[in-house]
Each structure stands twice: as structure tokens, then as C-alpha cells.
Structure 1
Amino acid sequence: MKKQQFSYTLEDLAERLGARLVGDPAVRVSGLSTLVDAAPGDIAFLANRAYLKYLGESEATAVLLHESHLEECKCNALVLDNPYLAYAELSRLFDPLAGTPQTSVHASAVVDETAQLGANVEIGPQVVIGPGARVGDNSRILAGCVIGADSSVGEGALLHPNVTLYHGVMIGARAVLHSGCVIGADGFGFAHDGKGWHKIAQLGGVLIGDDAEVGSCTSIDRGALGDTIIGNDVKIDSQVQIAHNVQIGDHSALAGCVGIAGSTKVGRYCLMGGGVGLAGHLEICDGVQVTGMSLVTNSISKPGVYSSGTGAMDNGLWRRNAVRFKQLDQLARRLNQVEKRLKDK
């Protein structure tokens, strides 16, 4: 694909971002970069004090920064209270995939005659859209995607190549699904008769809200009876596993390799670090943050930060601690006996 050319005046960017411009409003920038990698013509950003040391030496034409760092800036500046949030908005202006879809249905796409395509949609090569499926206005369905029977994709959504939606899946407006994610596969449901397993048909669906984003190679299973529900503005990283009938509240975020077992409910504004595991049938209240690699086996009813496990340490120290961990129960019992004898005296 041909590289898209960008060019914005600082006056235009300041107006878009609600920033105070210090410098020449007519100067143009054509790229977005870090302070270290910026070249003349680029705009950079300073959102972390750890990178303040690079500000004076940066070759950027302009920098997004906070008022407190303005004196150390030697180039044009766009001053804001939250430079990182401004960087997020600015990044979309330099995104080559941004803009309106190319209104077309590729000749190799297979679209069932009962499917409904909205206005101004882009259907890429080798896309398959099943019976009764619906694609909203201004959506982009890129190469190799499959949209199963009676599934729907909301207005302005973007499905990157090779996304698979099983039947009965609903994707909200402006949602973004990355390559290889699978939405609506069967949940892990089996009954055992003492000799072997018997499959339980998964009769529910998956509902994903507006402005949600699902990372590459993530799996979100359909419900066994009711639906698996992902709320509005939920952000899910790559290689995440969400089991059947899980519910995730609005504005929550899950980092890579999180695993959530069946029927667990996660509240609004929750954050799950990389590799977090949630056991099944739990309830996690609003405003909970679980740090990376933690295992949650009980419901959480109070907002806050929760952790389990230990950080990396010298292997020799870890081995000694592991031995002592096995002795904790015995030590606790002995301590209780000592306390009891002291109390009796």
C-alpha cells in the first residue's frame, strides 16, 4: 500500500488538541515520533519525566508537553495538561488506516444473498459473510475475515485480516478486532459419565459493546445458554482467553495472556495485568486492579489493587525461600503453641 503523506500546521494541531501553542503557528509537521528518534519535520511528545533528559537534544520540530517542562524546550511547543492523552489523539491523525473506507466489495468475497451491507462499507478479498449477517455503515472488513450466520458488525467497525466471527455474534459500533481473533467459538463445556466426555452444546452468543478493541489471537467463547458480554470501551490485548458466559464491565482493560474462566463477572473500570488468571464463577467489583501474573480464586468486593505470587529473584534465594514456604504450616502451628503457653503463664 502506498504510504500516505501527512502535513499539518501547528496552528491546526493546537486547535484540534485544545493546546496552547508556543512558537510559529504556520510551521508544518509531517510525522510523529519519539524525542529520541524525531527528525526535523516531526512532532514528538514528553509524557514521562524519565525522558526529560532527551528534550533539549531532540531534533523534533515541535513537542507536546506539560507547562512544567516548557522552559527546557528549545523548539515549538504545544502545551497541555495531559500530553499522553494528546499524543493518543494525535496518533490517529497520522494513522494510514484512518479515514473513510474504500467503498467496494472485492470480487473474491462471498456474501450471502440474505446478508445486509450498510452504506460505504469495504469488503476485502476472500471475505465470507454468512446468511442473515449484517455489516453497519462505514465499516471495514479486511481480507480473509469470516462473519457467521446472523452475526452483526456495528457502524464504523474495523475487522483486520483473518478475524473470525461465529454465528450469533454482535459487534458494537467503532469496535476494532485484530487479526486472528476468534469471537463466538464454543465454550469449554463437557459432562463426564465416568467413562468419557459428552459435549454440551453452547447455545448462547457473544455481545461486544461500542468502542471496544480486541487484540490479535484472542478468543472470546460464546455462552452456554446466556451470552458472553463485553461492555463498551473495553480494551483487550492479544492472546487473551475469555470463557463462556463471562461478563466484563464498561471501560475495563485486560493485558496480554489474561485468562478468565467461565461465568466470572468483572466490573467497570477494572484493570488486569499481563498473565492474570481469574477462576470461574467469581464476581469482581468495579475499580479493581490486579497486577501481572496474579491468580484470583475468590470474589473481590472492595475496589483496590490486588496481587499474588512473587517477583523474580536470585535463584539460590528463591530455592531457599521455596523450602521455607513448605514449612510455613509447621512453623505456624509451633508459633501458636508458644503463644498459648505464654498466655497460660
Structure 2
Amino acid sequence: MTHPAIHEFTLAELAERLGANLVGNGSQRIRGLATLKAAGPDQVAFVANRSYLKDLSDTRAGAVLLQPEHSADCPVTRLELQNPYLGYAQLSQLFDPILATPQGGIHPAAVVAEDVALGERVEVGPNAIIEAGVELGDEVVIGAGCFIGAGVRIGAGSRLHPNATVCHGVVVGERVILHSGCVIGGDGFGFAHDGSRWHKIAQLGGVILGDDVEVGSCSSIDRGALDDTVIGNDVKIDSQVQIAHNVRIGDHTALAGCVGIAGSTRVGRNCMLGGGVGLAGHLTICDGVQVTGMSLVTNSIHEPGVYSSGTGAMSNAQWRKNAVRFKQLDDFARRLARLEKRDQRG
């Protein structure tokens, strides 16, 4: 099993990896990342927001990632980039010990079916259960206590954190990250009522996750009722998100925490749904839509742009007054329409 060591790089090596312009001492060795205030000589800091420029002059970092226009104000070595935040994201992966290349190995406390197909350097942690017919690509990591159902396929480079669950027949792409407690392929919420009680509808579809998908802890993606639930490439899903059966989400879309998407809704490419957004079922959301936090969407959206619903927080006294007025809106609209008709008659 992997026990990664601390990584070290020279600033010249980091600049080459980022395609950054290095100004200063390229031989300085770097062992991690930190904020401008906390960084020491063996760490890199970054400036991605102008509000932090006030901390730049006093930094003790070995180097700072920043835009060229801020370089003159930096007292230490600079790594100049037009997008320092993207550079920080790329460097963060170099210093994350959990992302080290797997060395391979199956823990003796794991339960792995005899016919499981294992790629090169697959790691399986203690108490993980992998059922029959599963295929694991090269350098897949299955954390402690994970459950992988029968017939699952997981692509190369994917990583399941401890206690993630992938139910039977699910297809997981390459370089996918599934965090602890998430459930991929649980039953969708399907029931028929006979007038007195509910009858369960067996969920016969599956789930397909594209490449480079990340699913946060305790999120659920339900399997389809008949067709599959499909999550596109590079979709990022935060913690405690619920995606119902037969939903389809386009490439490069991001969903923040506590988003809920009802069954059979289609979300396009390059969309962003803020925290707590709810989408009703059987809707179509086109490409390039951003929905701000806590909004409820009950109709399809066919034009890209930013959409919001609900009201901002206010004092309880003001909210109670406005709530009374909300109930009066229909009456106000009818009275206004009568006045307009009377004015038109002259």
C-alpha cells in the first residue's frame, strides 16, 4: 500500500511545469504551499484576489504566484502567470500526498471476488468488498470499507475514498474521484400508488460517470429506472448533492453543496448550480446557465445566463410585512388591470 513521502521541487522545476515566468532564485527548493501570511522559505504562496495584495510586502514565502502587473510589489522570487489561481490548483496536486502514484496491493482484510479483473498497480484497502465481474483499470485505488457491486467498471486512475459505495452495473470513467459516503447507483425514487399503498418500481437502469468526474462526500446519484443516469466528463459535484434517476448532466458542469435535481431533468454543458439549488423534474437546462444559491427552478431554461429566485434575508419584522403583501399581489394586479381598462376607455 502507498505511504507517500514529502515531495520537493526547485522553483525552476515548478516554473517549467506551470509555464510561468520565473523571476528570482530558481534553485530554491519547495516542499509545499501556504498563504502569504503563513508561508515560509520552503513554500509557495499565491495572489489570486486583489484584496490580499496588502499581505504581499511582508511575505516570507520562497516564491509567490502572481500576475505580472503585481510583480514589482513582491519582495521574494516570483512565478508570473496570468491566472495564479489555476497555477495554485496545478501545484496543489504535486504536494498532495494522497495523489501519489499507487504502488499496488490488496489488503488481506479485503474481500475480492475471484473473477475481478485488476489492472496494473491497483490498490484495495482493508474491509473493502468487490463483487463478481468487476473491472478495475490501472492505478485504481479502492479505499478502506468501500463496496463495489457486481459488474462495475472503473477506469484507470480513479480513486475511491473510504466507505464509498458503487452499486451493481455502474460504469465509472477514468481519473474519477469518489469521496467518502457517496452512493453511486442506488435506487431511484420510483413508486406507483394503487389508491391505498405504494408499490416499488424496480430501477433497471444504471449510472455512467464520465472521465475526470468528482463526487463529494455523502452525495447520491441514483440509477435510472430504465435508461441510465449519465454524468458527463469533468463534472464536479459537491457534498450532499442528490441527483435523481435518469438525470443527464453535460460536460464541465459544477454543482455546489445540497443541490437537488429531480428525475429526468437534463442539465447542459458548462453550467453552475449554486448551493441549495433545486431543479424540478423533466426540465431542460441549456448550456451555459448559472443558477444562484437557494434558487428553485420549476421551468425549463433555454437561454444561457444567470438565473435567481427567492428573496434575500431581511429582518423578521420586514419579512412578515412583505409576506402579507405577497398574498395581496393577485388582488393588486386585478385592480391595476381594471384601472388600465378604464383609462383606455377614456
- The interval holding the TM-score normalised by the smaller chain is over 0.9
Q: Distance in 2 between matches of 1:315 and 1:3?
A: 53
The equivalent residue for 2:159 is 158
2:323 counterpart letter in structure 1: A
Match of 1:85 in 2: 86
Which residue is 1:190 aligned to? 191
What secondary structure, in the 3-state scheme, does the structure 1 residue paired with 2:101 have?
coil
CA distance in 1: counterparts of 2:5 and 2:320, whole angstroms:
55
1:1-345 → structure 2 map (5 Å cutoff): 4-345=5-346
2:158 and 2:45 map into 1 onto residues whose CA distance is 29
Q: What is the SS of the residue equivalent to 2:97?
A: coil
Alignment length, in residue pairs? 345
Identity of aligned residues (%): 65
Q: What is the one-letter code of the residue matched to 1:274?
A: G
Which stretch shows the higher mean deviation, 190-199 or 324-333? 324-333
1:2 positional shift: 6.6
AA in 2 matched with 1:331:
F
Give the distance between the partners of 2:335 and 2:65, measured in 1 at CA.
61
Return the letter of the residue paired with 1:260: I
Residue 84 (structure 1) shift: 0.5
CA distance in 2, matches of 1:30, 1:185: 41
Pair 1:47–1:275, CA change in 2 (3 A): same
The separation in 2 between residues aligned to 1:28 and 1:175, in whole angstroms, is 31
How far apart in 2 are the matches of 1:104 and 1:343?
83
* Alpha-carbon separation, structure 2, partners of 1:99 and 1:223: 34
Distance in 2, Cα, partners of 1:73 & 1:141? 43
Provide structure 2 residue ranges, at least 5 long, that are not aligned to the other structure.
none
Return the offset for 1:4. 3.1
Q: CA deviation at 1:9?
A: 0.9
Deviation digits for residues 189-235 of structure 1 (CA, Å, limit 9, x no counterpart): 00000010000000000000001000000000000000000000000
C-alpha separation between the residues in 2 aligned to 1:298 and 1:327? 24
1:331 CA drift (Å): 0.9
Query: Shift of the alpha carbon at 1:290?
Result: 0.5
One-letter identity of the residue aligned with 1:73: C
AA aligned to 2:248 is Q
Q: For the residues of structure 1 that align with 2:283 and 2:200, how far apart are their CA atoms?
A: 24
How far the C-alpha of 1:40 sits from its partner, in A, is 2.7
Mapped partners of 1:271, 1:278: distance in 2: 12
TM-fit CA distance, 1:3: 7.4
Distance in 1 separating the partners of 2:152 and 2:32: 39
Structure 1 residue 8 displacement after superposition: 1.4
CA contact (8 A) 2:4 2:98 kept: no
TM-score, normalised by the number of residues in structure 1: 0.98
Paired amino acid for 1:296? V
Cα deviation digits, residues 214-269 of structure 1 (max 9, x gap): 00000000000000000000000000000000000011000000000000000111
Q: Check conservation: 2:11, 2:29, Cα contact below 8 A.
A: yes
Structure 2 CA distance for aligned equivalents of residues 315 and 6 of structure 1 = 53
Deviations 1:155-210 (CA, angstroms, capped at 9, x unpaired): 01000000111101010000000000000000000000001000000000000000
- Displacement of 1:60: 1.2
Q: Deviations over 1:52-86 (max 9, x none)?
A: 11111222121000011111111110000110000
Question: Following the alignment from structure 1 to structure 2, what is the Cα–Cα distance between the partners of residues 84 and 54?
Answer: 17
CA RMSD of aligned residues (A): 1.1
Contact 2:4 2:100 in 1 (8 A): no
Tell me the amino acid that sits aligned with residue 43 of structure 2: D
Distance in structure 2 (CA, Å) of the matches to 1:5 and 1:131: 37
**1:315 Cα deviation from its structure 2 partner:** 2.0
One-letter amino acid of the counterpart of residue 205, structure 1? G
Specify the SS of the correspondent of 1:97. helix
Q: AA paired with 1:261?
A: A
- Aligned to 1:327, the other structure's residue is in SS state helix
Deviates more, 1:315-324 or 1:194-203: 315-324
Q: Secondary structure at the match of 2:99?
A: coil
Partner SS for 1:87: helix
Q: Deviations over 1:117-156 (max 9, x none)?
A: 1111001101110010111111111100110000111101
Q: SS at the partner of 1:144? A: coil
In the TM superposition, what whole-angstrom CA distance separates every residue of 1:279-299 from its partner, at most 9, and x where no partner exists?
000011111110000000001
Structure 1 CA distance, aligned partners of 2:152 and 2:28?
A: 48
In the aligned structure 2, how far is the partner of 1:323 from the partner of 1:22? 63
